[in-house]
Chains A and B, each alone.
Chain A
Amino acid sequence: MADQHAISTPAHPSTFTQNPIQRFLIATEVDTRLLGMIGALAIIWIGFNIFSGGLFLTPRNLWNLSVQTASVAVMVTGMVLVIVTRNIDLSVGSILGVVGMVMGVMQTQILPVQLGLGLGHPLIWSLSLLAGLVVGVGIGALQGTIIAYLRVPAFIVTLGGYLVWRGAAWWVTMGRTVAPMDQTFQLIGGGPAGSIGFTWSWIVGAVACAAIVAGLYFGRRQRRRFNFPQRPLWAEASLAVLGCGATIGAIWVANAYPWPVRIAENYAKANGIAVPESGLFISHGIAVPVLIAVGVGVFMTFLTTRTRFGRYVYAMGGNPEAAELAGINTRWVTVKIFMLMGGLCAIAAAISSARLNAATNALGTLDELYVIAAAVIGGTSLAGGVGTIAGALLGAVVMQSLQSGMVLMGLDSPLQSIVVGIVLVFAVWLDTLYRRNKH
């Protein structure tokens, strides 16, 4: 048959001269750009480890790094969608500030005092969180509506929002810092208590590994069902090994960081545990904010790749007119994106304020710039249509690694800003080169 013959025509001659690495990359269909970012991150980590005298690649620093990244990581997943649709959100730091304030006031004044629930009531943290989410989504809906239906450029609307919500954060308590937060609410911010511990960390790791293998298996079965070309089995196996290996490695690091001695001793005393000679080793395990960020990352990846909403977001970014002509309600999708962004700001606000154990009117200052920078370093194109959640999360880790690495090296804070700024421009330049060579 003519058709059959056409399919089996020999591949391009260059395939014969491939080295094993190229063969591996093609067979596994790995995103080479993402791989490049992981390589860059590895260089940054190893570099900082050398220059800081071995302080960087310790369980303690990596664990702290993961917690510090969580808040920006949560917000960057939403910023990807905003930027992909050729918009921008300059107000995320201010939204974080005002939502943090609202949640703080809810749990320190309104619920326990004015409604008389009493300290530590389970409704306090849950209602505070809910109120924060409602405010965040509401602010997003308002800004999104102005952008989509009144056609005011997102840059201007969110620049206005940047001022308005920061002012509102100040206004809630007239500038007073709100503290302390509810005991349960504090767990969202991490710390020894706000981590899930040795056993649960391994359970989470096992579930993640099972999910990776299951995902690969179902993907393969689906392709077989429709007789599509499949990856070779060895490629699938290496993907599974790499994915599970990275997961297990991360869990191992989180579990290798013990509680501080004093806290562990107090805990032992309170629970009647005998402290051994060598000291008590209680693993932190994965911190709750990190778990939240990973959960948000998985959810957002699912949303962008597996749902109509995600498909529309990318189509709108690629060609807004085509999306409109295809019958997509582009305005409503835009509003939904900003609502999502607002909701993610609320989650980030919970993480930040719980970690600080206080809500201040300066909470989240400059976060909008870190979030946008992380998204852009992670490969999100400001021209629209291009960007992945995984890349943006990596971008957030790169940004935070730079900051915490420079702190470990004892670099002055003005110098830190200068380095971060240069890296941002350099990373985008590299990305431009990469894309130009690809097409």
Chain B
Amino acid sequence: MLDASTPLVEMTDISIAFGGIKAVDHASINLHRGEVVGLLGHNGAGKSTLIKILSGAYKRDAGDIKINGEPASISNPRDAKAYGIETIYQQLAVADNVDAAANLFLGRELVTPIGTLDDAAMESRAREVMGRLNPNFRRFKEPVKALSGGQRQSVAIARAILFNARILVMDEPTAALGPQETAQVGELIKQLKSEGIGIFLISHDIHDVFDLADRLVVMKNGQVVGEARTSDVTKDEVLGMIIMGKVPPGAKPGPGAISG
């Protein structure tokens, strides 16, 4: 059985370089069951890149990934999904020209006994999940292109939770949303957390994540500056970590911390 102290995800000494530029430089990060970890940093700090390694979009140059304490080999998005890792990307990876149900089940379509697409069953499940997420959503027959930013976002989130993800990665999940929709996403994150799902929340805006996250990890120039429990630090101290790389007393310094 799984030991409660075994992290759900353990990424150790991860490095990746693009044409000589170290986008992620010996970064380590972990995530436990039912925990929300906020990953903060400027644009270009390497947070999205680090998380794309976890979700299989990029292949790491060095470092180890363990899922439930077991070494995991993730070299493409399919591998990641097999480990129960679902990702909601910043630029909303949805196919604009097909409808919501087709997007929800993309790559994992429901089929009838003779192997054809079971559109009715997929639409039914889609209505169920979308009803939970965004009860006002009615436009099941239209291409996603015709939807508003918030509606597209709920399609992307619904896709992630539809398949009982154990690890959820959300890259700027509320960037495109209005205040009401942002609150909805917040509620959803709390609900998923109570179901024991581990969540990485990535943002460059501290306000998006401070109230939702249990723990914060700050990155700068591809390195981890430090990490802290949200209860041990103030927003200003975290801002100091993001902007200057200065680690406050309540936080644990990482390789990218400025000494003194």
Name A's B-contacting residues (CB within 8 A): 3, 6, 222-223, 225-226, 228, 302, 305-308, 310-312, 314-319, 321-329, 385-386, 439
Contacts and interface: CB of A to CB of B under 8 A. Distances in A.
Contacts of B78: 327, 329
Given A315-B97, A319-B96, A327-B76, 10 more contacts: A223-B120, A305-B117, A314-B98, A322-B93, A322-B94, A323-B107, A326-B106, A327-B108, A328-B106, A439-B146
Interface residues of B, number: 32
Contacts of A329: 78
A325 B97 contact: no
Interface of B: 55, 57, 76-78, 81, 87, 89, 93-98, 102-103, 106-109, 111, 115-117, 120-121, 123-124, 135-136, 145-146
A326 B93 contact: yes
Nearest to B114: A306
A324 B116 CA distance: 22
Given A315-B102, A318-B95, A319-B94, A326 B107 contact: yes
A3 B120 CA distance: 22
B146 A315 contact: no
Contact of B89 (A317, A318, A325): A325
- A interface SS class: helix
Given A307-B117, A308-B117, A385-B97, A226 B81 contact: no
A306 B118 CA distance: 8
Contacts, number: 85
Nearest to A314: B98
B120 A228 contact: yes
Contacts of B115: 307
Contacts of A228: 120, 123-124
Contacts of B121: 226
Nearest to B140: A228
Contacts of B81: 327
B123 A318 contact: no
Given A307-B117, A311-B102, A315-B106, A325 B77 contact: yes
Contacts of B135: 3, 6
Contacts of A6: 135-136
Contacts of A321: 93
Contact of B77 (A311, A327, A386): A327
Contacts of B109: 308, 311
